[in-house]
Amino acid sequence: MKFGGTSVGSAVNIRKVREILAEEPGDVVVVVSALGGITDQILRAARMAAAGDPLFREELTAIRERHLEVTGALFSMPERTEVAQKAGAILDELDLVLTGIALVGELTPKTLDRILGMGERISSGIIASFLGAELTDSAGLIVTDSQYGKAAVDFRETNSRIRDAYEGFRGRRVMPGFIARNSHGDFTTLGRGGSDYTAAIVAAALRADALEIWTDVDGFMTADPRVISSAYTIPALTYAEAMELSNFGAKVVYPPTILPVYKKDIPVHILNTMNPKGPGTVITRSPVNGRERPIKGISSIQGIALLTIQGIGMVGVTGIAMRLFSALAREKINIILISQASSENTISIAIEEQKATAAESAIREEFEREIRHDQINRVIVETGLSIVAIVGENMRQSTGVAGKLFSTIGRNGINVIAIAQGASELNISWVVRSEDLRKTLNVVHESFFLSENTVLNVFLAGTGLVGSHLLAQIANQQEKLLRESRLKIRLAGITNTRQMLFNREGIDPAGFREALPEKGEKADIAAFVEKMTGMNLYNSVFVDCTSSETVASMYHRILSGNIHIVAANKTAASSEYENYLLLKRTAKQKGVKFLFETNVGAGLPIINTLNDLVNSGDKIISIEAVMSGTLNFIFNTISEEVPLSRTIRLARDAGFTEPDPRVDLSGADVVRKLLILARESGYHLEKEEIRIIPFIPAEYFQGSREEFWQKIPALDPLFEEKRKILAGGHKRWRFVASFREGQARAELREIEQGHPFYDLEGSNNLIIYQTERYNEFPMLIKGYGAGAAVTAAGVFADLIRVSNI
């Protein structure tokens, strides 16, 4: 025998019920809720009538029209007339009661319970006629006390009546849910969602084989799918897990539903009326296939207030908690979460936000003497909060769950205001600001592998050569990353000097050129950072592919917002030492990454290798490096046929130079790179302390870029003369940066054959680290060190490193 509760939203749902029952063998009782929206319409009409608003009759007319619409869709004449007459009698009763409410101007809880159940009475009559099933009046079977609105069931009397009514039952019956009567015969209700509860009560009384709850979702989800698109159906839960998830906001099942079937060990199946072939969720006593994950689901409650009483006069005093809870109970205020310091000097409770004022008044009244004598010195009320809970019976068998949970939350910049965990370890609950709720749910869902993929939300500044190459690489690698590394890179924001664009769901990296002018707004880097921070997305990464000082000036603000930074821009890491140190410290304090591998050597592993050496306890003795791919290209290309000015143009056309090639020719770019390496080696060094010996006269760096291109050919004869002498001595030019014993310099050197720098080809870089460990035989890192494609690849690699935190 199976017993089911179903939500009836429309004629379509009712037809689905018949289709489902056609495939169900055995005896079935169908417990139904009201037609979608009718209960709310009745409540609205009743309140209008009590307020003396004559428009309550329009609501009543709308209810009649809704009923006729459903019966017209399900029945043909003359059956339609018969069904309409039965429902019409209930609607006439509703009309009389609403008229009485309007006359006396009062809506009592008793009267409200009488009319609220009329939606279920109408729906059950329609479904019984449509299915050709017998209609049973559940209000005559379920007996409660007189606590109108959420009456408590008298199970002894109720079970006896149900067993008597169903003795010898075979076939199919329909019952209205939600409604009951007290011992005086007056209508009561079981609380919103009480139709599920009705089905559970009947199933438990008759020791049914199963309880099926047919609703509009596929079952319990790992999280709210409206917030987390990757949430999926939980195949199996224990009774305890289902209760916890329901109590903490998962509205799949009315929480009291679980208790009657739990006591009789009856399995509960949560199924979707519109997707009857779906597996749904089964709820039983013992865990089913739950060993692979410590938690089953995440739930949340919004609209929470946190009340905290604090005072050293509470320490060691018995009865404080009892008085607190009693004061709130007298005001019928439900406590959702309790958190108490072990020192006993604070107690925090979470309640519904709309009850905060009444709760504060009750607390101040109860503890008036203690407050007056400063034994309790603070009563704090915080609003705009939400509770988040993770639930899973396997948490008690898994170490480190709480540590991983709060580490992940903290790393994403989410402040936890209060925490509660029972000794059973079934539930860990915590309070956060409501604006952090979406981010919290996403972070936790992903952290505990409830999401199959790790998601990085990328905000890109700069769509020039490096930025566009990066987006092309992301577009080309997305499928592979998702398949092999379970990594999804979502472009959530993008800006250049003209437009900026945001999309929480993601921007197509392959179509950014079209999207920016079509959908973007005027670019403003301060506004971009503000919007990025305000979106509050988890695993956010700001990627700087500009060379802008203005963009770099935003780094501290970005890191302070718990957003990772991946920078191809050298400005920040080569700025004043105090600023460099501030950014490094902020990233460490906030638990985010500040990565700038491509600042030196494009995609070569120069900075990461240096970090590994230093972090493992090695000491850098000296650095010698050729790390301007631009200058190395120029000095490898210069020849009798290709003069200096021509090589500079070739380097620019190949994308090796900065927008203004004088930055490279001055050696300034090399100085910045050497400065970064020295700092990453652990040395306090400022840019002004690096001696630079220019190889091009100072006058060539004055004036506009166009004037430079006009003047530079004048140096061609001089450099050709020097080049011939150099070639005759089997030497080559290399622009070398060096650091030893705190002294740093950058200069053009003549390199003899046999030196590691001599055979550097094209735009290759070579860095030589001499350390305490690599002393006699220094470490060499060599490779392609310039170009947009390899720089973009280095940025991409840093993004992957962020995903591995």
Angstrom distance (rounded) from CA 314 to CA 311 = 6
What would the two tokens of residue 572 be? 């920040």
Angstrom distance (rounded) from CA 16 to CA 443 = 37
The yes-or-no verdict on residue 595 having pLDDT over 60 is yes
3-class DSSP state of 601: coil
pLDDT digit string (tens) for 196-226? 899 999 999 999 999 988 888 889 988 888 8
The yes-or-no verdict on residue 290 having pLDDT over 50 is no
Angstrom distance (rounded) from CA 753 to CA 755 = 6
The yes-or-no verdict on residue 339 having pLDDT over 50 is yes
For residue 396, what pLDDT is reported?
77
Q: What does the pLDDT average to over 146-168?
A: 93
The yes-or-no verdict on residue 778 having pLDDT over 50 is yes
The yes-or-no verdict on residue 2 having pLDDT over 50 is no
Phi-psi region of 415 (alpha: psi -120 to 50; beta: other; left: phi over 0): beta
For residue 3, what pLDDT is reported?
47
3-class DSSP state of 376: coil
Element (H, E) at 617: none
Q: Which DSSP category does 275 fall into? A: B
The yes-or-no verdict on residue 728 having pLDDT over 80 is yes
Q: What does the pLDDT average to over 419-443?
A: 87
Angstrom distance (rounded) from CA 197 to CA 235 = 22
Angstrom distance (rounded) from CA 519 to CA 530 = 19
3-class SS letters over 215-251: ECCCCCECCCCCCCCCCCECCEEEHHHHHHHHHCCCC
3-class DSSP state of 403: helix
Angstrom distance (rounded) from CA 626 to CA 294 = 52
Rg of the chain over all Cα atoms, to the nearest angstrom: 36
| Residue 715: C-alpha distances to residues 56, 644, 697 (Å) | 93, 7, 9
pLDDT-derived band at 711 (thresholds 50, 70, 90) equals: very high
Angstrom distance (rounded) from CA 19 to CA 13 = 10
For residue 577, what pLDDT is reported?
97
The yes-or-no verdict on residue 183 having pLDDT over 50 is yes
CA pseudo-torsion sign 747, 753, 756, 758: positive
The yes-or-no verdict on residue 741 having pLDDT over 80 is yes
For residue 36, what pLDDT is reported?
65
The yes-or-no verdict on residue 185 having pLDDT over 60 is yes
For residue 195, what pLDDT is reported?
85
| In contact, 540 and 559? CB cutoff 8 Å | no
The yes-or-no verdict on residue 1 having pLDDT over 70 is no
Helix axes 118-131, 79-104, angle to 10 degrees: 180
Which among 332, 531, 673, 782 is annotated as catalytic?
673
- pTM for this predicted structure: 0.70
What would the two tokens of residue 155 be? 């199970």
For residue 456, what pLDDT is reported?
92
Number of CB atoms found within 10 A of residue 476's CB: 11
Closest CA to 502 of 512, 517, 492, 515: 492
| In contact, 433 and 536? CB cutoff 8 Å | no
Residue 212 is which amino acid?
Answer: E
Which residue shows structure tokens 């009062």? 106
pLDDT-derived band at 674 (thresholds 50, 70, 90) equals: very high
Helix axes 56-74, 79-104, angle to 10 degrees: 170
Q: Where are the beta strands (DSSP E) in 268-327?
A: 268-272, 281-284, 297-310
Closest CA to 471 of 462, 483, 484, 481: 462
Q: What does the pLDDT average to over 642-667?
A: 88
pLDDT-derived band at 341 (thresholds 50, 70, 90) equals: confident
Pairing between β-strand 28-32 and β-strand 172-176 as defined by DSSP bridges = parallel
The yes-or-no verdict on residue 538 having pLDDT over 80 is yes
Q: What does the pLDDT average to over 444-468?
A: 84
Angstrom distance (rounded) from CA 239 to CA 433 = 30
Say which residue, 252 or 690, is predicted with more confidence.
690
pLDDT digit string (tens) for 742-759? 899 999 999 999 999 999
For residue 172, what pLDDT is reported?
84
* Mean pLDDT computed over every residue of the chain: 89
3-class DSSP state of 308: strand
For residue 624, what pLDDT is reported?
96
Closest CA to 30 of 45, 18, 39: 18
**87 alpha carbon, distance to own chain's centre:** 47
For residue 191, what pLDDT is reported?
85
CA pseudo-torsion sign 83, 85, 86, 89: positive
pLDDT-derived band at 455 (thresholds 50, 70, 90) equals: confident
| Beta carbons within 8 Å of 226's beta carbon, 6+ residues apart | none
pLDDT digit string (tens) for 474-519? 999 988 988 888 888 999 999 999 999 999 989 999 999 999 999 9
Angstrom distance (rounded) from CA 267 to CA 283 = 6
CA pseudo-torsion sign 81, 87, 90, 91: negative
Element (H, E) at 743: strand 743-752
Residue 790 is which amino acid?
Answer: V
The yes-or-no verdict on residue 682 having pLDDT over 90 is yes
Nearest-5° Cα angle at 471, 467 to 477:
140
| Highest mean pLDDT pick, 290-299, 423-432, 587-596, 649-658 | 587-596
Say which residue, 147 or 32, is predicted with more confidence.
147
For residue 426, what pLDDT is reported?
86
Put the strands of the sheet holding 281-284 in their side by side order.
134-135, 172-176, 28-32, 2-6, 210-215, 268-272, 281-284, 236-238
| In contact, 13 and 274? CB cutoff 8 Å | yes
Angstrom distance (rounded) from CA 70 to CA 287 = 42
The yes-or-no verdict on residue 694 having pLDDT over 80 is yes
Number of CB atoms found within 10 A of residue 776's CB: 5
The yes-or-no verdict on residue 9 having pLDDT over 60 is no
pLDDT-derived band at 11 (thresholds 50, 70, 90) equals: low
Told to judge if 673 belongs to the known catalytic residues of this protein, a careful annotator would answer yes
Angstrom distance (rounded) from CA 542 to CA 764 = 29
For residue 46, what pLDDT is reported?
93
Closest CA to 545 of 469, 657, 652, 457: 469
Per mean pLDDT, which range of 343-347, 370-374, 708-712, 794-798 is the poorest? Answer: 343-347
Angstrom distance (rounded) from CA 486 to CA 590 = 25
Angstrom distance (rounded) from CA 719 to CA 333 = 88
Angstrom distance (rounded) from CA 679 to CA 610 = 11
